Amino acid sequence: MSNDLTAMGTVITADDLPFNNSFAELPPAFYTRLMPTPLPSPHFIAASSPAAAVLGLDAVDLARPDFVELFTGNKVAPRSQPLSAVYSGHQFGVWAGQLGDGRAITLGDLATDNGPMELQLKGAGRTPYSRMGDGRAVLRSSIREFLCSEAMAALGIPTTRALMLTGSPQQVARETMESTAVVTRMAPTFVRFGSFEHWESRGQQDELRLLADYVIKNFYPEFAGADNPYKELLAEVTRRTARMIAHWQAVGFMHGVMNTDNMSILGLTLDYGPFGFMEAFDANHICNHTDSRGRYSYANQVPVGHWNCYALGNALLPLIGEPDVAEEALSVYRPEFGRHMNTLLQGKLGLMESREEDVGLFDAMFGLLQDNHADFTLFFRRLGELKLDEASSDEPLRDLFIDRPAFDAWAATYRTRLRGENSIDAHRREAMHRVNPKYILRNYLAQNAIEQAQNGDLQGVHRLLAVLERPFDEQPENASYAALPPDWAAHLEVSCSS
């Protein structure tokens, strides 16, 4: 790998990490420099080998005491410039005013083959933006964020990454007393929609322009010479957001708290809180127990994503100039989402070409899933086993449906569509299994791993991480991880509390 770590030999220590911090080059109004607050007796929980490889590190080395101390916040690397950023945002559609990194501290960025990657500690202590919070994250939510970040990356969905997870016996109060943990997460930048809303809401156009120019210079340099680079920035962020949400819908992922301060300027899935993966399909499913009005239900993610882009457009309007110019940039959302979603669905159904009648096929499929509350992931995975001329191959798939005649009718339409393009069973199965995961982070799987970890057994986290890193592989030895959720899983609730 072509970064400074390559030339350091085989033994890399935490002090060797050649941190830079481009965000620290902005004026002090954008952040607060501060040190993480140490935690007592930190211990290693898990590390992601794929995420470590991005940085040129070996995940095995991350279990050493020097890395555990660094990535818990108990020591700071010599070249690190720790800081927490300020931002604002809309929460559940209501303007919340100033927010900021209330428990996240950015250590700096490291060079990679694909550009700098920021490393940020989540749960590293109070900051000036903590408001009434204690700046800590609990083991329960940290395991969920760590696992889901890497599960999403393995699914090919744009996301921040999670390098490692450490824990401490220190207790903090939530609904009950819980032990603490720190997630080291990675992204090229953690700038959010709310970062721009912050300055626009205060009428500070100089700072707004500085932030936009920083983002364009470092992450969208192709727009630097455009007639209106801020319009181009808005349009591209809108496109990326639409594509990201299409990926979410296609895999059944629900973010749970799509506030504008949780929306990445790079179109990455950011801030894993009360997320969930669709199981028994219900388009109106709400994965966040706190979301009493269902603003962030599965069905609402698409329009809310558009709404959030409008909030970003409003923040950038002083730089863009004319409302109709901003409106033109925002108009790319719906067609971009539609194109990308159709492409993803064609792949999930093993279709080699796009036809006009596919919209009806897709709509009928979602209606069938809704009426029967069929398991979303198992439906698409088992659909890959369907054979054109062997109706008996449908039995495992039919078992997901209460109304089997309704399924049979849809399957007949689907087979007709497949024959229309001379689909070959073996080729289609291989293609569908490359895009339809067998393994997702079901809530009950995460809960099992969490409870084991709370009792001192970390092997459940390690095993589940290894399964989720290969979501499309058959992994017959891990088939139990792909099973329908047990009855008790229906009573699990996930909220904004962490």
What single string gives the DSSP state of each residue in 325-357? HHHHHHTTHHHHHHHHHHHHHHHHTT-SS--TT
**pLDDT attached to residue 497:** 57
Catalytic residue among 261, 271, 291, 394: 261
**pLDDT attached to residue 4:** 52
Q: What's the alpha-carbon Rg for the chain, to the nearest Å?
A: 23
Q: Which amino acid is at 359?
A: V
> Residue 424, SS3?
coil
Structure tokens at 304: 């809310």
Angstrom distance (rounded) from CA 79 to CA 61: 20
50 CA to centre of own chain: 16
Angstrom distance (rounded) from CA 439 to CA 480: 10
Angstrom distance (rounded) from CA 139 to CA 353: 46
**pLDDT attached to residue 494:** 82
Cβ(305)–Cβ(241) under 8 Å?
Answer: yes
Q: What does each of the 498 residues of the chain score in pLDDT, given as a tens digit?
A: 345 564 445 678 999 999 999 999 999 999 999 999 999 999 999 999 999 999 999 999 999 999 999 999 999 999 999 999 999 999 999 999 999 999 999 999 999 999 999 999 999 999 999 998 999 999 999 999 999 999 999 999 999 999 999 999 999 999 899 999 999 999 999 999 999 999 999 999 999 999 999 999 999 999 999 999 999 999 999 999 999 999 999 999 999 999 999 999 999 999 999 999 999 999 999 999 999 999 999 999 999 999 999 999 999 999 999 999 999 999 999 999 999 999 999 999 999 999 999 999 999 999 999 999 999 999 999 999 999 999 888 999 999 999 999 999 999 999 999 999 999 999 999 999 999 999 999 999 999 999 999 999 999 999 999 999 999 999 999 999 999 998 888 778 787 655
Break the chain into its structural domains and give their ranges.
6-189, 194-343, 349-433
Angstrom distance (rounded) from CA 171 to CA 85: 26
Cα three-residue angle 12-15-18, rounded to 5 degrees: 80
**pLDDT attached to residue 9:** 52
The DSSP annotation for 103-131 comes to SEEEEEEE--TTS-EEEEEET----TT-T
> Residue 420, SS3?
coil
**pLDDT attached to residue 2:** 44
Known catalytic membership, residue 16: no
**pLDDT attached to residue 322:** 96
pTM of the full structure: 0.96
296 CA to centre of own chain: 15
Q: Which residues contact 341 (CB under 8 A, 6 or more apart)?
A: 246, 249, 250
Q: How many CA atoms lie within 13 A of 389 on its CB side?
A: 6
**pLDDT attached to residue 226:** 97
**pLDDT attached to residue 210:** 98
